[in-house]
Structure 1
Amino acid sequence: MGSFPNVILILALGVLQAVEGSMIQLNDNGYDGIVIAINPNVPEDEKLIQKAKEKVAEASTFLFHATSRRAYFRNVSILIPMTWTSKPGYLTPTLESYEHVRFVSSAHKFSHPFLKGIFLLIHLTPNFVLDDNWLIYGPRGKVFVHEWPCYITSLNTIEATRCSKDNTGVNRVLKCSIKSCAIRLCKINRQTGMYETKCQFIPEKSQNAKVSIMFMQSLDSVTEFCTAKTHNPDAPNLQNKMCDQRSMWEVIMDSEDFRNTSLRAGVNSPPSPTFSLLKAKEHVVCLVLDKSGSMSVNNRLSNLVEAAELYLIQIVEIGSWVGMVTFDSDVITQSNRSISGSEIVLLTDGEDNEISTRFEEVKQSGAVIHTIALGPDAARELEKLSLMTGGYRVTPKENMTDLIDAFSRITSRSGDLSQKAIQLESKSVMLNSKEWINGTVTVDSTVGNDTFFVITWTESVPRICHQDPKGKEYRNADFSINKLNSKAAHLRIPDTAEAGNWIYRLQNEHSLQTLTLTVTTRAKSPTVLPVIATVHVNQSTGHFPSPMIVHVQVSQGFLPVLGAKVTAIIETGHGSQETLALWDNGAGADTVKNDGIHSGYFRSYQENGRYSLKVLVQARNNTARLSMRSPQSCAMYVPGYVNHGEIVLNSPRPEVKDKEMEVKIEDFSRVTSGDSFIIPGVPSGPLPGKFPPAKITDLKAKSQADHILLSICFFPADHYKIRMSGNSMQLRDHFDKATQVNTSGLMPKEANFKETFEFKPETLKIQNGTKVYIAIQAVDNANLTSDISNIARARREYYPSLSSYTINVATIIVAVVGAAAIIHIF
């Protein structure tokens, strides 16, 4: 796996929607809590700070007018790396960290200067911040505002769809090399009636249309978002698919930030943003651990000692300052030193009715609080401490493995992935006497430094047989038994662990007991980014019977890793466990296929209270691939303009050949924990049938002679309803009144099963150019129905006349930076 250049991390407009734990808030039309963070590996350059200020100020003014005076950027913090020189004006950060960054500048090897992000990120190259050559995308502030609605939808919304139709221009196919460009007219696909794939729209330089920012933000006249009047609901793009064909302005106004926000009356321009320069300091963390009488139950205290020690020697960032406080009733503050910017790890198993009375004090402290709620009786208010300070919240079981997993969740927040502890294995098995537990742990070539194998037992030490990929064996004598906790043993691999499959075998030489194995490591090199898995749930508190959505991003740097098997293990406070397969197939809870984000709905609620989340990621048998395709930009690249009848082309965008799109990578494994969540309102006893089938989101349709062929990814259901119409909006708004399709030949399939279904419209005459819109609903055996699917369109063959190929420009000019241009028409 190759190395990656340095990056700069920027949050410019970030997460203007309500994201769980987000520090960004909209108050009185002004956004507070915006963070601009510079990656620790970026060389010191004050121009980055000044340019960032200028562009955010520019974006604030444009956002203010684009939202009809509803929003602007008020308070912005710039997080400066520890490696940069300290200056008098720099302040100490409090809750600001790289964990809260939502806009990320990617490396310059990407072909776009700003890229549609994943997991609430937008990538900006350093060149985009500093180099004016990228102004072909429009003013940077305008580009930032263009990127922002991608957060509302988490989608790429432009997909070559012109909005509005008042934007004028020509359609051409460009074939460019370094020194020349060939231009020809676009051909029309007779099967679809659409232009060929490589056809591009070249707009007139001078326009009157004001919309849309999401189409071509580079046009001077464009200052507004598409509304219901100007939006094209039939465009085959992701926005229409996922947003029920609503315009961008409708989506924005329905977001939590804007739902109850009024315009700022009597003001034509917003106040200038206030910037704070924050220089990261040394990492300071304090463990605040419960040692009350209840911690003696189920070996909680001894397990805590082992897990805390493991955190200190394996998990916490090297070079950190760590303190420890234990308590059995109250924690007494004995120092007047400020804890602002520090982290606190609070573990307790007890109730505390006074936590809520300290919320305001916690906010003012400036400390980040991570909470570990141990056992079913832990205070219900713990999660609020984490949410209000940007900390993690974890609910482990009372065994050693889950406690270690919980501490492993609390990793480095510095932005330096080479310091991040990475978990490769976490296993707990109950064995009878003389039984073995066998397995392999894959150490891939992106990791291997500071590798630890930790084995624990409940009764007596097991027989240990480990073997590295070259055949070297490690047995009991090679492990160090913890003197504080005689039921745990460590093996630290010196230098860098050998890449490949490590074989482990543990034999229980006692009566029935539980054995656990945990393996952690760090990146092999600061210049080679490790494969990591990041977990996210859509909300901290669910609402029965609505499902929770679990997302897991598997990536190396900013590139998606494909082909891995991802499984979520969700457990209640009383030990009831559910295994959930997560998919990256663009269906159901998953928005985009093959973007490295695996998603799934969780609705198997067993009880009220906390649910813990653990994720296993495995790539076996050479199935993993690294997607080399740059994350698709939410902003459209404009190939050129028509200026006074002449086509003036911009510099061509580099293309990646298909064979370079994906690269096979070696096998790997990752284990990670997600934040716990709370589900209230679950009724006691057998659950009623309140969970309708999931919405189908990947319905596709195409016309074949006088038939229509549908492609569907199924979800569990009893049967399906398919209806069609000649009008997409009528089908959306009046589905039950649309023409029904005979689905007697469509049999329910298992979840995530792809199938095609062909039918002949019985009441609709299919002619050349006819467009038919189709949608589907899944119905279960309790007659509960899913939401209406995305609306698919089928179009009968269309045979255009040759007269449709016309050209009305007299001259074609190509402007190529730094090279002579030659052009011909073919």
Structure 2
Amino acid sequence: MTLTVTSRAVREDVLPVFVTAQMNQLSSDGSKPLVVTAEVTQGSSSVIGANVTATLESDTGHSVQLYLLDNGAAANKDKDDGIYSRYFTQLRDGRYSLKVRVTDHIDTRLSLSRHSGALYVPGYIVDGKVELNPPKPPVNVEPANVGSFSRIATGESFEVKVASGVTPNFPPNRIRDLSAEFQENAVLLKWTAPGEIYDEGTATSYEIRWSESLEVIQNFTNANRLNTSELQPQEAGSAEHQHFLLDIKIENGTTLFFALLAENNNTAKSEVSNIARVTSFIPTPRPPAISNPGLNLTTIVVSVCAVTMGACLIAFVTTCVMKRRRVGEEV
């Protein structure tokens, strides 16, 4: 069961903000982390950019505070959908209560659309020619007045009972937002940094691989490995942007696949990330367009007429001269 806080708006012209808080499960043996989730809505719209903090407190006095995120990484499924979440990894025996506090922020606004999850494809190749798709439509975010608010929601209690002799060795969280794009002869990879333990702390290293074959990259260890010896992971939740030069020639239609994983100090590795696909699209040059076809046609017609009239004039003059010569000879 999930408990929801119901509240009234301070102003009649502003709809009230609702908050729903819950855990992904109500019991745990300590083998896997739990996930805290809070959904924030105003009317039929999602509230994004809010400050969302969860407090989990056990009957033994163990208390943990987590800042929930809506960034589309780690425990959070989709970015800017009004659903905030975070992993709870500090598992100790006890029965826990869940309390979520939500307040407005300078960036708080409404999102009127849900993410479809469909992958945007920039273009495709037909008979060796590149056909580009229209630009990717922007996310429908309306800077509507959410109003100043502060809400507290309470979720149902849950219990943690760690199995005897079990010492959790949680790895970094799986990276789910890896993307790739060509920049001249290099490739730019972007992703959200995982933590030392799921989405907390800082991972120790990355292992990044690539292939020209989807089947090969799915096996991961069989794919080509990039040199990441000088790459230092950033703190969990940070945006990673890394350029890599590849030992292949990038041509029109070249398609590559990338994936990576993170490792922590205990040599625990995350699951392999999502597979990022990138294709080099070099638009086929088009012949220069005629700026004013009507004007060009008129010019051609006038030119032809002028040449014709000139030829007729020359023929007329020549005929007259010949006739005069004949008349003069007869006389």
User: TM-score by structure 2 length?
Assistant: 0.72
Q: Which residue is equivalent to 2:184?
A: 705
Q: Which residue is equivalent to 1:556?
A: 42
CA drift of 1:623 comes to 2.8
> What's the CA shift string for 1:440-494, capped at 9, x where partnerless?
xxxxxx524xxxxxxxxxxxxxxxxxxxxxxxxxxxxxxxxxxxxxxxxxxxxxx
Preserved contact between residue 113 and residue 140 of structure 2 (Cα < 8 Å): no
1:765 & 1:542 partners in 2: Cα distance? 51
CA drift of 1:632 comes to 5.1
**Residue of 79, 85, 94 corresponding to 1:599:** 85
Q: Which residue is equivalent to 1:349?
A: none
Pair 1:568 & 2:54 matched: yes
Preserved contact between residue 718 and residue 781 of structure 1 (Cα < 8 Å): yes
1:344-359 paired onto structure 2 within 5 Å: none
Amino acid at match of 2:215: M
**Residue of 226, 241, 251 corresponding to 1:767:** 251
1:625 & 1:568 partners in 2: Cα distance? 21
Identical counterparts, % of pairs? 36
Equivalenced residues, count: 262
Q: Which residue is equivalent to 1:585?
A: 71
**Residue of 207, 210, 233 corresponding to 1:748:** 233
Q: Which residue is equivalent to 1:221?
A: none
Amino acid at match of 1:537: M
1:43-54 paired onto structure 2 within 5 Å: none
User: TM-score by structure 1 length?
Assistant: 0.30
Tell me: CA distance 1:679–1:735, structure 2 relative to 1, closer, same or farther (3 Å). same
Pair 1:794 & 2:278 matched: yes
Preserved contact between residue 532 and residue 556 of structure 1 (Cα < 8 Å): yes
1:591 & 1:707 partners in 2: Cα distance? 29
> What's the CA shift string for 1:334-377, capped at 9, x where partnerless?
xxxxxxxxxxxxxxxxxxxxxxxxxxxxxxxxxxxxxxxxxxxx
Pair 1:630 & 2:88 matched: no
Query: Does the residue aligned with 2:27 lie in a helix, a strand or coil?
Result: coil
1:660 & 1:759 partners in 2: Cα distance? 33
Amino acid at match of 1:707: A
Pair 1:779 & 2:260 matched: no
Pair 1:679 & 2:157 matched: no
Q: Which residue is equivalent to 2:223?
A: 738
Of 569-578 and 776-785, more deviation after overlay is shown by 569-578
1:286-685 paired onto structure 2 within 5 Å: 391=1, 409=3, 421-422=6-7, 447-448=9-10, 529-607=15-93, 609-620=94-105, 622-627=106-111, 629-631=112-114, 661-683=142-164
Tell me: CA distance 1:447–1:712, structure 2 relative to 1, closer, same or farther (3 Å). same
CA drift of 1:660 comes to 6.8
Amino acid at match of 1:661: E
Tell me: CA distance 1:421–1:560, structure 2 relative to 1, closer, same or farther (3 Å). closer
Preserved contact between residue 536 and residue 674 of structure 1 (Cα < 8 Å): yes
2:107 & 2:159 partners in 1: Cα distance? 35
2:76 & 2:140 partners in 1: Cα distance? 26
Preserved contact between residue 81 and residue 115 of structure 2 (Cα < 8 Å): no
> What's the CA shift string for 1:488-532, capped at 9, x where partnerless?
xxxxxxxxxxx6xxxxxxxxxxxxxxxxxxxxxxxx69xx64101
Preserved contact between residue 694 and residue 787 of structure 1 (Cα < 8 Å): yes
1:631 & 1:714 partners in 2: Cα distance? 24
Q: CA RMSD in A?
A: 2.7
Pair 1:724 & 2:203 matched: no
CA drift of 1:670 comes to 0.7
- The structure with higher relative contact order (CA 8 Å, sep 6+) is 2
2:116 & 2:261 partners in 1: Cα distance? 32
CA drift of 1:696 comes to 0.6
> What's the CA shift string for 1:775-794, capped at 9, x where partnerless?
11010011100011111112
Query: Does the residue aligned with 1:743 lie in a helix, a strand or coil?
Result: coil
Preserved contact between residue 614 and residue 671 of structure 1 (Cα < 8 Å): yes
1:728 & 1:539 partners in 2: Cα distance? 35
Amino acid at match of 1:541: S
Tell me: CA distance 1:659–1:550, structure 2 relative to 1, closer, same or farther (3 Å). closer
Preserved contact between residue 605 and residue 682 of structure 1 (Cα < 8 Å): no
2:253 & 2:38 partners in 1: Cα distance? 42
Amino acid at match of 2:142: M
> What's the CA shift string for 1:93-141, capped at 9, x where partnerless?
xxxxxxxxxxxxxxxxxxxxxxxxxxxxxxxxxxxxxxxxxxxxxxxxx
Tell me: CA distance 1:591–1:660, structure 2 relative to 1, closer, same or farther (3 Å). closer
Amino acid at match of 1:690: N
2:54 & 2:255 partners in 1: Cα distance? 42
Gaps of 5+ in 1: 1-390, 393-408, 412-419, 423-445, 449-498, 500-523, 636-655, 804-826
1:708 & 1:659 partners in 2: Cα distance? 29
> What's the CA shift string for 1:363-406, capped at 9, x where partnerless?
xxxxxxxxxxxxxxxxxxxxxxxxxxxx56xxxxxxxxxxxxxx
Preserved contact between residue 612 and residue 675 of structure 1 (Cα < 8 Å): yes
Gaps of 5+ in 2: 119-136, 196-202, 288-331
CA drift of 1:631 comes to 3.2
CA drift of 1:761 comes to 1.5
Amino acid at match of 1:738: A
Q: Which residue is equivalent to 2:305?
A: none
CA drift of 1:539 comes to 1.7
Preserved contact between residue 705 and residue 796 of structure 1 (Cα < 8 Å): no
1:536 & 1:779 partners in 2: Cα distance? 30
Tell me: CA distance 1:568–1:706, structure 2 relative to 1, closer, same or farther (3 Å). same
CA drift of 1:664 comes to 3.9
